[in-house]
């Protein structure tokens, strides 16, 4: 990210995390019992993570890919979910962080798809933002994956043909589930509410991870956050800053997030014409972020019912700088055809940005949504 947070940044020692995050072997500290990922630096504590090209290792519960933004280009391919991050053609380092996870044997059967994607874009003008973005993405991905696993363990199988189409889309954010951990019928579960709560907790964990390495080092890291969870027929997205989520399906293409920038807020207040929002000097000056000086790590949340097959795209501004309109992005998503693997679509989207000039780090995550038959 080439922009910067709005307003002055306090010294790192003034930033107090909500909790003290556990560390990992990379940080030379002791993790909490049961932790699989470090909430401080995001490193894997077990062999269930992959940090390179190719499928992550599979366990009985899940497949993971939590990737660290310390190389020019890296990617992961989990089949139905994939991501690519590239340094671009101008910046000297890649300060984007990315995490992708797919529940084991996620398919149309069983209890439906369980996929997680997170993008955190480090602010290049704030020192230490690259490692902070990587740690934030890893911490958020780990927490969201655990919540998806917990959700799946309490769910009952989806009936053949999918859930009752007469059920109203779940939009209320109220908590769900039965006492005692008993399986909860599909019609009685507030999936959107459970995943919205998970995204809030994930943003809090990401905030802790982002600031953990700053104290005493004179660093003021900052990064954006966009995370999504796709479970069964529900997509829930949460965000801070200007990393985006798009949905492309049979009903068309739409952007699911609204930028938290000075320019975007001016547009919403009627002080700036929409066509000028992405051109001026404040187009990438974020007003909400993770890291030192963040006034709130509570993301905005949106839930969407998913009645048909499609694709979700999460990206940093390094991509949407060249494909901002939902229809434009959808054209690039569809360019390889409906049967193209998610990893090929993600690679193609990154290539679009590089061909356009590659002025920033670029990250794209693509999650396939299976159709219901």
Q: Whose CA is closest to 138, among 214, 64, 54? A: 64
Position 23 confidence tier, pLDDT thresholds 50, 70, 90: low
Mean pLDDT of 266-271: 90
Position 335 confidence tier, pLDDT thresholds 50, 70, 90: very high
Give the Å distances, CA to CA, from 183 to 155, 179, 180, 219: 5, 10, 9, 46
Mean pLDDT of 163-173: 31
- Token pair of 59 as six digits: 């366990």
pLDDT of residue 103: 78
pLDDT surpasses 90 at 350: yes
CA angle 90, 267, 247 (to 5 degrees): 65
pLDDT of residue 161: 41
pLDDT surpasses 70 at 270: yes
pLDDT of residue 71: 78
What pTM did the predictor assign?
Answer: 0.77
User: What angle separates helix 129-154 from helix 191-212, to the nearest 10 degrees?
Assistant: 150
Give the C-alpha separation, 214 to 19, whole Å.
15
- Percentage of residues in the chain having pLDDT higher than 70: 69
pLDDT of residue 239: 98
Least confidently predicted of 136-150, 276-290, 318-332: 276-290
Helices (H), the chain: 129-154, 191-212, 262-268, 317-320, 326-334, 342-356
Mean pLDDT of 146-168: 59
- Token pair of 28 as six digits: 């030379």
Give the Å distances, CA to CA, from 18 to 70, 207, 209, 290, 363: 26, 9, 11, 13, 28
DSSP string across 193-220: HHHHHHHHHHHHHHHHHHHHTTTTTT--
Give the C-alpha separation, 311 to 368, whole Å.
5
The rounded Cα 123 to chain-centroid distance in angstroms is: 16
Please name each of the domains of the chain with its CATH number.
12-369 (3.60.40.10)
pLDDT of residue 24: 54
pLDDT of residue 15: 33
Position 180 confidence tier, pLDDT thresholds 50, 70, 90: very low
pLDDT surpasses 90 at 280: no
Q: Which residues of 232-243 are buried (b: 16+ CB within 10 A; e: fewer)?
A: bbbbbbbbbbbb
Q: Whose CA is closest to 142, among 201, 192, 214, 94? A: 201
Give the Å distances, CA to CA, from 133 to 164, 213, 291: 40, 11, 9
Least confidently predicted of 16-20, 159-163, 325-329: 16-20
Q: For residues 4 and 123, is the Cβ–Cβ distance under 8 A?
A: yes
pLDDT of residue 188: 52
């Amino acid at each position: 990210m080439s922009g910067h947070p709005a307003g002055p940044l306090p010294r790192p020692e003034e930033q107090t995390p909500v909790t003290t995050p556990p560390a990992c072997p990379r940080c030379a500290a002791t993790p909490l019992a049961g932790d699989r990922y470090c909430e401080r630096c995001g490193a894997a504590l077990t062999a269930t993570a992959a940090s390179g090209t190719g499928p992550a290792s599979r366990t009985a519960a899940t497949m993971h890919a939590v990737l660290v933004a310390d190389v020019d280009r890296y990617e992961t391919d989990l089949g139905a979910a994939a991501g690519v991050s590239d340094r671009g053609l101008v910046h000297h380092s890649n300060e984007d962080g990315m995490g992708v996870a797919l529940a084991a044997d996620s398919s149309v059967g069983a209890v439906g798809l369980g996929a997680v994607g997170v993008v955190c874009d480090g602010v290049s003008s704030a020192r230490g933002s690259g490692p902070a973005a990587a740690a934030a993405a890893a911490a958020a991905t780990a927490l969201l994956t655990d919540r998806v696993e917990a959700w799946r363990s309490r769910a009952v199988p989806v009936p053949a043909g999918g859930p009752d189409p007469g059920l109203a889309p779940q939009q209320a954010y109220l908590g769900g589930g039965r006492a005692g951990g008993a399986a909860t019928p599909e019609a009685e579960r507030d999936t959107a509410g459970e995943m919205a709560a998970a995204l809030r907790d994930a943003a809090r964990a990401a905030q802790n991870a982002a600031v953990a390495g700053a104290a005493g080092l004179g660093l003021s890291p900052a990064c954006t956050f966009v995370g999504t969870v796709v479970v069964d027929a529900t997509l829930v997205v949460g965000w801070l800053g200007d990393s985006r989520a798009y949905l492309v399906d049979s009903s068309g293409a739409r952007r699911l997030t609204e930028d938290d920038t000075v320019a975007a807020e001016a547009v919403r207040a009627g002080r700036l014409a929409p066509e000028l929002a992405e051109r001026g000097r404040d187009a990438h000056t974020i007003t909400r972020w993770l890291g030192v000086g963040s006034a709130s790590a509570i993301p905005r949340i949106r839930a969407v019912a998913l009645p048909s097959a499609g694709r979700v795209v999460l990206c940093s501004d390094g991509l949407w700088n060249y494909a901002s309109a939902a229809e434009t992005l959808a054209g690039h998503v569809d360019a390889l055809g409906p049967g193209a693997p998610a990893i090929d679509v993600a690679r193609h989207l990154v290539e679009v940005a590089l061909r356009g000039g590659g002025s920033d780090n670029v990250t794209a995550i693509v999650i396939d949504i299976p159709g219901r038959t």
